[in-house]
Amino acid sequence: MSLSMIFRIVCAVALAVSCATAGAQSTYPDRPIAFVSPFPAGGATDLVARVLAQKLAASMGQPIVVENRSGATGLIGESFVMRAKPDGLTILIASNSSHLIAPLLQAKRPFDPVADFEPITMLGSYPLALKVNPAVPARNVQELIDLARKTPGKFNFGSVGTGSVTHLAGEQFKHAAGIDITHVPYKGTAALATALIAGQIEMQFDSVGSTKPLVDAGRARALAVTGDTRSALLPDVPTLAEAGIPGVNAIVWVGAFAPKGTPPSIVAKLQQEMVKALREDADVRRVFADNGMDVVGNDSRTFAQSLQREQKGWADMIGTAGIDLQ
């Protein structure tokens, strides 16, 4: 067989494979999709996953089921998606708690947030509220700080897990205010709220969406919010900077990721469908607004670049706070 004949055969085979792959991708999705939330049901990440699953199932023509694979501050669900087949049928809906911060607190990093995943888009972001049990006799941030200074080590602050944004927001506050308070991790938003209501902890940082119902019911008192501006859900609550404690700027975002190696055409289709729902669907925008979340919907490259910048910022903060690696 001549070299030219071999060359033609190789080219034909390559073309056939290419066409078959393109054909498979062009029909995506041809089977149901799983949105994996690495946290228990009831939190902001789960909420975003569910409202998007409902809308994208209609627009993409396939059922989308939300799977809660919680544990280890989201690392169980993250690792599950990282190992999944890169066919666009297993998608991670995660926060910076699980995707950026939790890995930084591991002596042996379980994954790289950019190199081991295909970032799709940042879906939304929201500030955290510093709230206290109503039995705590503090009506504002300065009074809370004064109480903590009078009784070092007595006050506990809760979080949804070691390495979560709610944990590091508390560490930022502790450092900025110069107080001695103790971190107590819980498994999810519901357990954390129960602990605050029961008086097991005196304070916590939590989403403004989860905070507002407790404040309205008189079960918690919101003293401040993180970020540069006040929350529309809690307009009378000052920012921590307004309360005299700058530097506590912890913001939570929720984003979508595919396993590394997912074809660019599939990543692009998911990004387009998600951004369309975020920008055009009134139900999605209402759910976000009702829970104090701002819509983002950026492109995949911009999202990846922001991940790298934020990862460095959290790494620096963890080093400054002297938080022990696990």
Tell me the pLDDT of the chain averaged across its residues.
90
Residues 307, 312, 317, 323, Cα dihedral to 10°: 90
Whether 44 shows a pLDDT value over 90: the answer reads no
Going by C-beta distance under 8 Å and a sequence separation of 6 or more, which residues neighbour residue 304?
Answer: 114, 119
Whose CA is closest to 141, among 211, 224, 251, 201?
A: 224
When comparing pLDDT for 18 and 204, which is higher? 204
Q: Is 143 exposed, middle or buried (0-12, 13-18, 19+ CB in 10 A)?
A: middle
* Confidence grade of residue 14 (pLDDT, cut at 50, 70, 90): very low
First-to-last CA distance in the chain?
Answer: 62
> d(Cα 245, Cα 129) in Å, to the nearest integer?
14
pLDDT of residue 26: 64
List, in sequence order, every beta strand (DSSP E) within 217-282.
Answer: 221-225, 251-259
Whether 15 shows a pLDDT value over 60: the answer reads no
> d(Cα 211, Cα 89) in Å, to the nearest integer?
34
pTM of the full structure: 0.83
Region for residue 291 given its phi and psi (left: phi exceeds 0; alpha: psi -120 to 50; beta: otherwise)? alpha
Whose CA is closest to 41, among 68, 77, 73?
A: 68
pLDDT in tens, 82-100: 999 999 999 999 999 899 9
Whether 7 shows a pLDDT value over 60: the answer reads no
pLDDT in tens, 106-141: 888 899 998 999 999 999 999 999 999 999 999 999
When comparing pLDDT for 17 and 201, which is higher? 201
When comparing pLDDT for 163 and 273, which is higher? 273
**Domain at 26-126+253-321: CATH architecture:** 3-Layer(aba) Sandwich (3.40)
Whether 27 shows a pLDDT value over 70: the answer reads yes
pLDDT of residue 6: 42
**Domain at 127-225: CATH architecture:** 3-Layer(aba) Sandwich (3.40)
Whether 18 shows a pLDDT value over 50: the answer reads no
Topology alike, domains 26-126+253-321 and 127-225:
yes
pLDDT of residue 302: 97
pLDDT of residue 218: 96
Whether 51 shows a pLDDT value over 50: the answer reads yes
pLDDT of residue 320: 78
* Confidence grade of residue 12 (pLDDT, cut at 50, 70, 90): very low
DSSP type of residue 301 = H
Can you give the residue ranges of every domain in the chain? 1-25, 26-126+253-321, 127-225
State mean pLDDT over 268-273.
98
Highest mean pLDDT among 40-54, 252-266, 312-326: 252-266
When comparing pLDDT for 67 and 3, which is higher? 67
List, in sequence order, every beta strand (DSSP E) within 22-168.
Answer: 33-37, 64-68, 90-95, 117-132, 156-159
Q: Angle CA(210)–CA(245)–CA(239) in degrees, nearest 5?
A: 40
SS3 280: helix
* Confidence grade of residue 319 (pLDDT, cut at 50, 70, 90): confident
pLDDT of residue 22: 45
